[in-house]
């Protein structure tokens, strides 16, 4: 995995900024911690819904300023992204990200 120096975050920040309570599914992070200022791969595990209900929707919301997120599709699930213009563009590998 390539390192991206502009991605300064921790899994804790991701966990706090990730409301996954639409179906009240039991969601955990595969790895609970990461060194501050490092890049990391955050894997969310969705075990099951509550009261016998299946989990049918998972929403992940990243905080403003978060850089370098890349969702990975799961077989049988639809993946939709909503993007918004950045308040402050940044350079990534010679490209301006807006």
The answer on pLDDT for 16 being more than 60 is no
Q: Is 5 helix (H, G, I), strand (E, B) or coil?
A: coil
DSSP 18-51: ---TTTT--EEESS----TTB-----EEE---ST
For range 2-28, the mean pLDDT: 50
pLDDT attached to residue 95: 94
What are residue 48's phi and psi, to 5 degrees?
Answer: -170, 165
pLDDT attached to residue 45: 86
Q: DSSP state, 65?
A: T
- pLDDT tens track for 22-77: 445 678 888 888 888 788 888 888 877 777 777 888 888 888 777 778 888 889 88
**Structural domain that includes position 81:** 1-98
Give the pTM. Answer: 0.57
pLDDT attached to residue 72: 87
Helices and strands in the chain, H and E counts: 1, 4
Could you give the number of structural domains in the chain?
A: 1
- pLDDT tens track for 85-95: 888 898 888 99
Contact between 56 and 23 (Cβ < 8 Å): yes
pLDDT attached to residue 24: 57
pLDDT attached to residue 86: 87
CA distance 2 to 4: 7
């Amino acid at each position: 995995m390539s390192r991206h120096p502009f991605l300064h975050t921790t899994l804790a920040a991701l966990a706090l900024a990730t409301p996954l309570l639409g179906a009240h599914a039991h969601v955990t992070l595969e790895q609970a911690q990461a060194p501050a200022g490092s890049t990391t791969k955050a894997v969310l595990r969705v075990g099951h819904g509550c009261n016998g209900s299946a989990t049918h929707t998972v929403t992940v919301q990243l905080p403003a300023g978060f850089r370098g997120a890349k969702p990975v599709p799961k077989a049988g699930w639809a993946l939709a992204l909503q993007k918004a213009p950045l308040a402050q563009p940044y350079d990534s590998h010679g490209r301006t990200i807006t």
